[in-house]
Amino acid sequence: MIKHFLNLEWKQYFRSSYWQKSMALNILLVFFALYFIVMFLGLGFGLLFIIKKAYPDQDPFVIANGLLFYWFMVDLIMRFFLQKLPVMSVKPLLTLPIKRSTIVHFVLGKSAFSFFNFLPLFAIIPFSIMLIKEGYETSQILPWMFALIIVVLIINFLNFIIEALSSKTDLPFLPLLATVGVLYGLEYFHIVSMTSLVGDAFIGISNNPVFILIPIALLAIAYAFNFKILREKLFLDSGLKSKVTEVKAADLSWTNRFGDIAPFMQLDLKLIWRNKRTKSSVFIMVIGLLYGLFFYPQPMYRDMVWLFPFIGIFVTGIFLINFGQFIPAWDSGYYKMLMSQNIKYEQYLRSKFVLMILSVVIMLVLSIPYVYFGWKILIAHFAAAIYNIGVNSHIMLYGGSFNRKKIDLNQRAAFNYQGTGAVQWIIGLPLMILPMGIFALMNWLFGFEAGIALLILLGVAGIVFHKKLMKSITQRYLDSKYKMIDAFSQDN
């Protein structure tokens, strides 16, 4: 039966429209995979020399074990945001005489062969080889290496457990970040030495291999818990049960002042607040507002004036970036119906534009306290906001005309790459890098004031020519209308 599952997976992958239509993106992902493999290989072979240079008077094996705590925390966070449980089209299988346990075992076994589990091997195995060549006993290093591989699988299954338990919340990443933050705080403030606990545990396994039974037992428990969760959800009617909720109607009458685009704005606001993915994007605005606190309090960044507009673009344009990059894919679920109505496409696009502009203004006002770190920062944020309004808003709308991927609004927003294509990656260059490059060049040649003036001038130019730009963008959407209808009608 597993052989048949593998055959079905192979055919599904290479016959899917995603494979045929996203060949360039698949090639790009292969290059990224090769890049990370080379980086991990370099880390595996070079880590011993790095530790020796940084800690010449200490045992490098002990130091490496102390660093495992940080690796496990980062690995768990990255997996939570980037890794998803492998899926199968299981509903047709549930009508056949196939045991549900067989299907669940296959899905969980498939997750063990994830790239996230193979990638650490390119660092673990070379580093183990280097330790043996350094003179450490093979009988000491091999149990240690196998223990690390087992922990990688534990983190793999632990990630799916965390996702399953937190998937019903609007901000599922907060419990994980809070837990990791507490553990890191215990280490940072010397309350409990987490590095010593983890390091001593793995040194204990290397000295007494029988202790490897402990991580094996933990792996079995994590697997069994995942099996239980998935098996309980594996029913034909598992998605038919309706959830009864209290309807909360918001007063959106204030949008009427925007005239003929008010109905579209109301629909967008309802869509944003009633769906998990769009709602999470609003909460991410808080993270964007606090983005500057990662840089401005640090003395080393206060002299990097060329970085201020980049931070300003991100802080004032966080909603513009998150919401704008998926226009009109937010409406992909009912795009065909929407395009069959007697509406003006320019009104539809203008409502998106106004929402983005309002968000930029709100974020600019909320970011005013950054003046505490210097008046140049406030001026840079103001210039970045003008640039966002006049330039980046139009770039976002124009880039949206190339969107061809459907979006599931019920999935989380943080690090969710569903609906992401090559357009979203390419559009980041003029969106973020271009204004920073322009400002950096003008600041280097003529000074801070000249760089700020040029950003404001470009933004004002975009505002002045807004109607002409919108006319051109609208025509681009009309030309792509039927291609988008066809793309959104398919399941990627």
Per-domain residue ranges of the chain: 2-233, 253-488
The owner of tokens 């890049």 is: 35
Query: In terms of C-beta density within 10 A (0-12 exposed, 13-18 middle, 19 or more buried), how is residue 245 classed?
Result: exposed
pLDDT one-digit tens code per residue, 152-172: 999 999 988 887 777 666 556
pLDDT of residue 186: 85
Whole-number Å distance between alpha carbons of 306 and 249: 45
Euclidean distance between CA atoms 30 and 361, whole angstroms:
40
Tell me how far apart the alpha carbons of residues 335 and 328 are, in angstroms, rounded to a whole number.
8
**Ranges in the chain, pLDDT < 50:** 17-21, 239-249, 413-415, 417, 419
- Tens of pLDDT, residue by residue over 306-347, are 788 888 888 888 888 888 887 888 787 777 888 887 778 888
| DSSP characters over 44-72 | HHHHHHHHHHH-TTS-HHHHHHHHHHHHH
| pLDDT of the residue at 143 | 94
Q: What is the pLDDT of residue 17?
A: 47
**What 3-state DSSP class applies to 376?**
helix
Residue 150: per-residue pLDDT: 95
pLDDT of residue 200: 93
Place of tokens 């204990």: 204
CB 328 within 8 A of CB 309: no
Per cent of the chain over pLDDT 90 is 23
The DSSP H or E segment spanning 243 is: none
What is the spatial distance between Cα 16 and Cα 30, in angstroms, rounded to a whole number? Answer: 18
* pTM value surpassing 0.75: no
Packed helices 466-479 and 393-400: angle between N→C axes, nearest 10 degrees: 10
Rg (CA), the chain: 26
DSSP 8-class letter at 391: I
Q: Residue 453 class from Cβ within 10 Å (0-12 exposed, 13-18 middle, 19+ buried)?
A: middle
